Structure 1
Amino acid sequence: MNMLRIGLIGYGTVGSGVVERLAETKAEIEQIVEDQCEIAAVLVKDRQKKRAVNINAIVTTSWEEFCEAANYDLIFEAIGGIEPAFTYTSTWLKKGIPVITANKKLVAEKGWLLESLAAEYDTYYGYEAAVAGGIPIINALKGTLMTTSISRVSGILNGTTNYMLTEMIENHRSFTDVLMEAQELGYAEADPTDDIEGFDAWYKIRILSRLCFGTWPDEKNITRIGVSEVEDWHAEVGEKFNFKIKLIAEAKKVGTEVKGHVTPAFLVDTEPLASVRGVTNGISLEGSQINQLLFIGPGAGKEATSNSMIEDFLFHERMKSSGRVFKSNKEVEVKETYEHAIVFIKHAERARALEWIKEMKIVVLDTYDHYEGEGWIICNQKVPSPFKKFPIYGDVSKRRRVKKVHSAQLGSI
């Protein structure tokens, strides 16, 4: 057996998980790759160095020392962000050395370039762990679904916000309260912007779009609205209709372009993704050959993410020539996912809202009167709204009927 020398960049939660996972399954990995494996060196930040003292490898804060420490066969990148991760990754790809990453921001923003470098230098760039933690969605698309046409991809891709929204609906808790708890539990960072403003899910749906449709989408074609737009009373109104509120990321091919969105949405409880609770992630693939496939599993965490990185390496070692085949010249008509939306109007805005629905010829299907405002279910979901408006996924006829409904068009009924 030869020795497969591994370099690890970063020793935070994910990096330390990679070390532990390699140690736990060393015999199985060596049997699969038919080589012995060792971590030759670890590049760390100053504050991580004390945590890495028990690793049987060179541990350094110097990029130069790390580069000279071994003739690497594989690099795991686990530091996050664009720089210096992009410089580090491109350096190794140009040497023909494969890189495995969990860095969703880097993949979303620079993946097109890093993939081209990997192809040019006859190696691979693996990013299974960058989307949905422990769900093997990337390599399912690369391997099991190589020739399967995908018309739409959607999902709950951020565990932090799904935990928050689950608590708001099921336990009637405030946004501020559940955000603070998410931070205390380690689900949300001290600066939760990437989660609550939808950036995290936005990066991930762009990566999934690449695998589903064969092209990296223009970021301008994937709109983004975060859960910070959801007020406590919105969740309460949704609960009255028995809707579940989720942060939904969705993309589909429209002509030659990929278009989509990240937005809070209200789901009828019969929708498959409505049952995805807490920090769990869920991904739906739709296509004429598969109807709908649903993947549900842990969206983050040390064990889930590090497991995905190791399995990503093994997948590419077994299937170095794998890749999806896309029917670029075939136009597929994709139906709208939803036909209705819910509009939230404060009481002081009611007169203006009545003028709006009259002017735009909007059909109001149902409403609920809350002490902070009203929630109107409308049929014209595409109409521009001066009020907060979120899509409703599913058959709204299956909503819960409330005893007293205040109709914007008919008054109390």
Structure 2
Amino acid sequence: MGNEMKRGSIPIMILANAIQMIVLLGASKNDNEPLRCQNLTNAQQIVTDSLMNARTVQALGVEKGLVEMYMTWVEKSMSGMCKRNVLAGIGFGIASGVMFFIMAGGFYVASLLIKEGIADFKGVMMAFMGIFYAGMGAGQAAVMMGDATKAKVACHDMFKLMDRQSQIEGLDPKGDSPEKLDAGIIEFKEVKFFYPFRPEIQVLKGINFRITTGQSVGLVGPSGGGKSTVMSLLQRFYDPQEGSVLIGAEKLPLHSLNIRWWRKQIGFVGQEPILFNANVRTNLMYGVDESDQVTEEYLRQCEKMCNLGFLYKNGNQGLETEVGPRGSRLSGGQKQRVAICRAVLRNPKVMLLDEATSALDTQSETIVQKALEAALKGRTSFAIAHRLSTIQGCDVILVNADGRVVESGNHSELMALKGVYYKLQMQSQK
């Protein structure tokens, strides 16, 4: 009787454990369904954006509207969940009850075996526990057999991604690091380029120019002309598919140079500078390599050059002034000046300015422009500008249109041509 009961209970235990695992794993899979997952992601995105832009939300008075949007996405994700959860709970409860009935029956049979002297207590318990845990393990394993194959495929894809070699490795120490190379001489020779994720759109269609040391260059032109792409190629975020970017009088290809060395030669100031939630000194030192030593005297020189005198006024604490999350405690002009100082502190040979003053008011723009003029002295510089007044004083102005340099020269020469640059000037004055 005991053996028959053992043999009969094992399949039931396996089935009960399988039902429990299906319920538990099913709940997890429901949470990861593409549509449900997307709905929850949208709800979380609303919360994140609302908190990050709390001032804008309050200024527009859209708190209730955002709450309603959040509730709409949450309700979509909850569609049908109540019915599924009730059924899952009933199934889980029945499976658990079956397990307890089997345990009760097992203990009853064990007591009879011990009472009749057929087996001792130790032997009965060992047999009972062995059968119990074997049935439990078999039930769990049966449910997870399908997931084992999925896990194997996932691991294969993960290791494939980890083993993938980037075409441009930003931490790769390979390549030349010439000490005497003049990094301020830059030449683009028949450069053609398209972004890997949009191969059907040719962004640069054979761009040519040569810049010598100390020249200031303005990049202007209609949107989509390739101005930002030129900046990306200079920072070597991409390599051109055709043509060459040549550096120095020796005309060394940019891709042959040590990428870490090259990026030390570049200072970059963007339209919306990113400052970390720390003091000004820490933000400035982010632009300096760990191996470089910056003296306090040189730091003060850069500070004066970039017009950071505001750090010592109105209760500020100099370089120990906290900038707040994303630099929120500083004005737009103040953030720009800190970003310029961070770039200058590296003593770069080349400065890249991407709309560095476009988001500023006239007064702030004048102050930042003076800081830029001091910072760019003696350095090769490239500046993208839609506000053409900021680049009129550049030594060379390159007019990019349709992926090519269609005009080049200084302000007077380009105005005399009455071409694309002239039309852009006329439009800006309307």
- TM-score > 0.5, shorter chain as reference: no
User: What band does the TM-score fall into relative to the shorter chain?
Assistant: under 0.3
Higher gyration radius (CA)? 2
* TM-score normalised by L of structure 2: 0.22
TM-score when normalising by structure 1: 0.22
Please identify which structure carries the higher helix content: 2
